[in-house]
Structure 1
Amino acid sequence: MSEKRILLASLLKPINDTRLYEKLGLSLSKISGVSIHITGYEAPIPAEAPANMHFHPIFRFSRLSAGRIAAQRAHYRLLQHIQPHMVIVSTHELLLPTLLYKARYSNVRIVYDIQENYSLNLRAQHNYSWPLKHLLALSIRTIEKMTAGSIDHFLLAERSYAEELPFLGDRYTFIENKYKAHQELSALATPVSLPTTGTLRLLYSGTIAEEYGVWEAIESAKQLQAIRPASKLTIIGYCANSDTLAKLRQACLALPFVELIGGDKLVPHRDILQQIEKSHIGLLPYRPNASTFRCIPTKLYEYMAHGLPIMIQENPLWQGIVAGNDAGRAVDFRRINIETLYHELSTTNFYKHGIPNAIYWESEEEKLLQIIIPLLSQVQEK
């Protein structure tokens, strides 16, 4: 085989994931003489993928099961089969089998794509019992520290990780989750204002969880009903917590103006984008939490790219982005005055200076290629 092979690997993300495939994968597929392999959780293979891109949907298991251990073995076998020259790992659990492969086949470069501060997320959120979440957090940080010296470069999805993660050294580059369009967007008519008649469509998209404010989104929609009865809230995304999902389904049955799309299964990203295009207000009612406080939600870039007015939880980082681009309002969803807020939103023009260029993926693609191409040139063809 004459081409150089890059494997992008994630244990929990689907093979058609926005960052794994649409951003990193498609950007790297532009490198001459390279074949791209993507392994991840089982999902439909993108029909429009370029010819030099190959998919290996080898993972399918519940989040807490022995299947996660078997998945690491499957990953190692795939490494031996593909024999990549570079592996970009997006899940901490795949670090050890990847470095075992590197020990056997030294002619390889390893890049760790850090999409989340996994250890902090476990400690700050409430998805597991106190002893279990701290044990898991400790094990993750131990693996990351043990393997850090053998990793050639780190990609950081958030700028805050440079301060939060003590094992990075100076081998990192910020590759943020900015918006990657499926096709060239037609110029949006700006400024944007809310419709004065008809249904007012609110949107909550992405990960469905209490920490991300799903109940605050529903409460806001309930209050808005008293002011503008022709209002509707769409909740679209995946909910990993079965108790939260059961309660959410019960809530939707009692509230006909709340629609749930997905819930127990991953929702194709294009379906989410279609809902963004149909909506009038995007909700980001994140509860204040150490795991999200210094991170920029990907959906913020998505909403802005489509000219969607935004209601976002008060946060100095987010407020600067939203206010600086006339994109919406920062509010405290715990003490919201919906009547005052609705009057302000309905009399305001948003995006008065157009959609900002800084939110798009192209700038991140350029940085990515500047890192990966030199690293790849250091290894010989197998």
Structure 2
Amino acid sequence: MSEKRILLASLLKPINDTRLYEKLGLSLSKIKGASIHLAGYETPIPAGAPANIHFHPIFQFKRLSMGRLTAQRDYYRLLQHIRPQLVIVSTHELLLPTLLYKARYKGVRIVYDIQENYSLNLRSQHNYSWPLKHLLALSIRTIERMCATSIDHFLLAEHSYADELPFLDNRYTFIENKYKASLKLPPLATPVSLPKTGQLRLLYSGTIAEEYGVWEAIELARQLQIVRPEVKLTIIGYCANSHTLAKLQQACQALPFVEMIGGDKLVPHQEILEQIPKSHIGLLPYRPNASTFRCIPTKLYEYMAHGLPLLIQQNPLWQGIVEGNDAGRAVDFSRINVEELTQELSARNFYKQGIPTTIYWESEEEKLLQVITPLLPKV
């Protein structure tokens, strides 16, 4: 039997990324006769990977540098070296070199794994000046439109993308970022309640950014100190914005109850997960923004899988999942009555019906294999 070579590539995600490796990569490695290749940003290669998964940490550059252009050249050389029959692209910048590869070699199939609406993110967030962010957003959408007819299928991480992206043409499948445990979790005792006295540990994990409410998390911890002096906030993840990072580092030095892990470097996903069972409340204090309002953060599923009570920003999509499963409470982080909130949370039980089975990756793996298998050569 000939080898079925699949390349999964992301320009900005590390090769040990949760979705790239732990979800898509490991799930596809179950296909009989498949050889899985992962190309991504340089980080340590995961230990204990299946023998048919191969890692190519070929990207290493500053986000705003010429390295992003030379990375596309390096990626095209990797394509020619591996000669995959199926390429799953997770970054818009890799679409054009992938199409060039497809034009040169017969029978190549392309899947675009859309993890973010990049164009909307640029327009809605404030990382660049107004003219630059709109120019970048237009260029991304132009590339996606140009490439769309040559893409065989689209994987959508969010349901909202089906409405937001005009080039999909019904060739898509929802593959959500549900929880995938690297190790089987022990049975959790439910319902869950918060400690009425002693230390109360808050957790903010993942991407560290103003849009994701890192300052709101710190302000909540500061106010909680008034009624629960032993409050501790752990911030763990990576902050790409150097200005925000410098301010955070100063804040953490001035506030002994705030601890930051990572910040200036990527934190292995397993280290982030290890903080969850050590915590009492998981925070999702996202600022209302068009780029995130209709998306479900991966950490929401991660917190729920560990039975962690949540405090989320008011959002109808999130509230249906969180409050519908007794997993936490929606609040407006810009105006919280801390005394009332503390009393309410202390009196509540969470996860009274147990951990919901709908939050796990297994259902997404089944859909993924149903989509990808027919795209592979019949050999």
Fold shared by both chains (TM-score > 0.5) = yes
Give me the identity figure in percent: 82
Alignment match, 2:98: 98
Alignment match, 1:366: 366
Alpha-carbon distance between aligned partners in 1 of 2:333 and 2:242, rounded to the nearest angstrom:
24
The code of the aligned residue for 2:137 comes to A
Alignment match, 1:52: 52
Alignment root-mean-square deviation, CA: 0.8
The code of the aligned residue for 1:271 comes to E
Alignment match, 2:347: 347
Say whether the 8 Å CA contact 1:107–1:380 is kept in structure 2: no
How many angstroms does 1:372 deviate by? Answer: 0.3
Is 1:263 aligned to residue 263 of structure 2?
Answer: yes
SS of residue paired to 1:202: strand
How does the TM-score come out when normalised to structure 1? 0.98
Alignment match, 2:17: 17
How many angstroms does 1:198 deviate by? Answer: 2.4
How many angstroms does 1:196 deviate by? Answer: 2.1
Alignment match, 1:200: 200
How many angstroms does 1:268 deviate by? Answer: 0.3
Alignment match, 2:130: 130
The code of the aligned residue for 1:157 comes to A
Alpha-carbon distance between aligned partners in 1 of 2:196 and 2:340, rounded to the nearest angstrom:
16
Alignment match, 1:188: 188
What stretches of structure 2 of length at least 5 have no aligned partner?
none
Alpha-carbon distance between aligned partners in 2 of 1:106 and 1:166, rounded to the nearest angstrom:
28
SS of residue paired to 2:98: helix
How many angstroms does 1:296 deviate by? Answer: 0.4
Alpha-carbon distance between aligned partners in 1 of 2:335 and 2:186, rounded to the nearest angstrom:
38
Alignment match, 2:42: 42
Alignment match, 2:329: 329
The number of aligned residues is 379
Alpha-carbon distance between aligned partners in 1 of 2:55 and 2:298, rounded to the nearest angstrom:
24
Q: Deviations over 1:248-267 (max 9, x none)?
A: 00000000000000001110
How many angstroms does 1:2 deviate by? Answer: 2.6
Alignment match, 1:274: 274
- Aligned pairs for 1:78-89 (under 5 A) are 78-89=78-89
How many angstroms does 1:380 deviate by? Answer: 5.9
What stretches of structure 1 of length at least 5 have no aligned partner?
none
- Aligned pairs for 1:114-193 (under 5 A) are 114-193=114-193
Alignment match, 1:289: 289
Q: Deviations over 1:331-369 (max 9, x none)?
A: 000111111011100110000000000000000000000
- Aligned pairs for 1:230-249 (under 5 A) are 230-249=230-249
Alignment match, 1:215: 215
Alpha-carbon distance between aligned partners in 2 of 1:47 and 1:299, rounded to the nearest angstrom:
23
Q: Deviations over 1:83-107 (max 9, x none)?
A: 0010000000000000000000021
Alpha-carbon distance between aligned partners in 2 of 1:48 and 1:327, rounded to the nearest angstrom:
33
The code of the aligned residue for 1:249 comes to Q
Is 1:107 aligned to residue 107 of structure 2?
Answer: yes
Is 1:68 aligned to residue 74 of structure 2?
Answer: no
Alpha-carbon distance between aligned partners in 1 of 2:271 and 2:347, rounded to the nearest angstrom:
30
Q: Which runs of 4+ in 1 moved over 2 A?
A: none
Alpha-carbon distance between aligned partners in 1 of 2:130 and 2:250, rounded to the nearest angstrom:
27
How many angstroms does 1:132 deviate by? Answer: 1.0
The code of the aligned residue for 2:35 comes to S
Alpha-carbon distance between aligned partners in 1 of 2:62 and 2:130, rounded to the nearest angstrom:
20
The code of the aligned residue for 2:56 comes to H
Is 1:356 aligned to residue 356 of structure 2?
Answer: yes
SS of residue paired to 1:56: strand
- Aligned pairs for 1:282-321 (under 5 A) are 282-321=282-321
